Amino acid sequence: MLSQISENLQKGKAKVVKQLVQEAIDAGISAQEILEKGLIAGMNVVGEKFRNNEIFVPEVLVAARALNMGSALLKPLLAADGIKASGRVCIGTVQGDLHDIGKNLVKMMMEGKGLEVIDLGTDVAPDTFVKTAVEQDCQIICCSALLTTTMPMMAEVVKAAEAAGIRNKVKIMIGGAPVSEEFCAQIGADKYTPDAASAADAAVAFCA
Ligand code: B1M
């Protein structure tokens, strides 16, 4: 069932994906397993084909739409499964970068753990992250980047937090396909996590 979800997602068959996700839920498969082994597994194949020029932007977008339709069904279940935690987080994709699929998954997993998540969307300027953290009293700023050319904006977020005098009050978490542990240390951010589930766990630990 999970591989059928993955295959149909790759073909962009959003309605079929939605139906299969519902069937998987009804069959008692956990929301996290459906997300990781069905939807994200399918999107990873799409990413690989896009990289190899086997498919192009329109195919990627229909696959992304199928992922979103499937994950919408999982959202309330992830929330119900989650260990409740209290904390407020702001999240966004950094300036110059419009990729939001991974960021939305991180948001969903964090909400599933009971965190309040302020979604700043994509193409978010460093000052917007910092202004939001100050005004909304966020414990964590979460930055996502998918392009090697936009990763340096994460360093700008760290600098903006320092300049605003909030660096010791707010944790800065980073992630996205090109980001790494080494890069995190290099720019002075607090935590790199490779996937949405570990990002949510780390955020809960910071807020505890
Ligand atoms: Co873009 N794109 N794209 N793209 N795209 C990549 C990233 C690329 C690797 C494809 C390739 O191989 N050529 C490449 C980047 C190369 C590089 O920088 N070295 C690339 C490029 C070049 C571009 C454009 C420049 C293409 C062009 O126009 N010529 C352009 C840039 C636009 C812009 O941003 N300014 C572009 C556009 C697009 C689309 C619009 C078509 C679409 C985005 C749709 C959308 O997001 N709404 C798109 C997509 C879908 C991709 C690929 C195929 C898939 C990305 C994705 O959603 N993956 C991608 C290829 C690839 O990754 N193999 C590619 C699935 C998602 C679940 O994974 O986002 O990594 P990911 O998130 C994971 C983890 O990384 C982590 O959790 C998630 C789930 O576990 N995570 C975090 C993410 N954020 C986190 C934050 C955290 C912690 C964990 O803490 C805060």
Ligand 1 site residues, Cβ closer than 6 angstroms: 40, 43, 46-47, 50-51, 57, 60-61, 64, 96-103, 105-106, 142-144, 146-149, 173-178, 193, 195-196, 199
pTM of the model: 0.85
pLDDT-derived band at 60 (thresholds 50, 70, 90) equals confident
Task: State which ligand 1 atom lies nearest to the alpha carbon of 57.
Answer: 41
- Residues 84 and 111: beta-carbon distance below 8 Å: no
Q: Residue 132 pLDDT > 80, yes or no?
A: yes
Q: Residue 174's closest CA among 135, 145, 200, 132?
A: 145
State the Cα–Cα distance between residues 46 and 57, nearest whole angstrom.
10
Ligand 1 mean position, distance from CA 104 (Å): 12
Confidence category of residue 135, pLDDT binned at 50, 70, 90: very high
User: Which residue's alpha carbon is nearest to atom 50 within ligand 1?
Assistant: 60
64 alpha carbon – ligand 1 mean position (Å): 11
Return the ligand 1 atom nearest residue 149 CA: 18
Would you state the pLDDT for residue 57? 78
Q: Please enumerate in sequence order all residues whose Cβ is within 8 A of that of 102, keeping only pairs 6 or more positions apart, or say none.
A: 144, 146, 175, 176, 177, 196
Distance from Cα 32 to the centre of ligand 1, integer Å: 21
Judged on CB neighbours under 10 Å (0-12, 13-18, 19+), 151 is buried
Spatial contact of 31 and 25, defined as CB atoms under 8 Å apart: yes
Sorted by sequence, the CB contacts under 8 Å of residue 62 that are 6+ apart come out as: 12, 14
Residue 59 reports pLDDT greater than 80: yes
pLDDT digits (tens, 9 = 90+) for 75-118: 888 776 654 557 999 999 999 999 998 898 888 778 767 789 99
- Residues 159-183 have pLDDT tens digits of 999 999 999 999 999 999 999 999 9
The token pair at 104 is: 């939305």
Q: Which are the contacts of 194, defined by CB distance < 8 A and separation ≥ 6?
A: 175
**How far is the C-alpha of 112 from the C-alpha of 22, rounded, in Å?**
18
What integer pLDDT is reported at residue 82 of this predicted model?
A: 55
Closest CA to ligand 1's atom 41: 57
Task: Say which amino acid occupies 62.
Answer: V
What's the mean per-residue pLDDT of the chain? 91
77 touches 41 (CB < 8 A): no
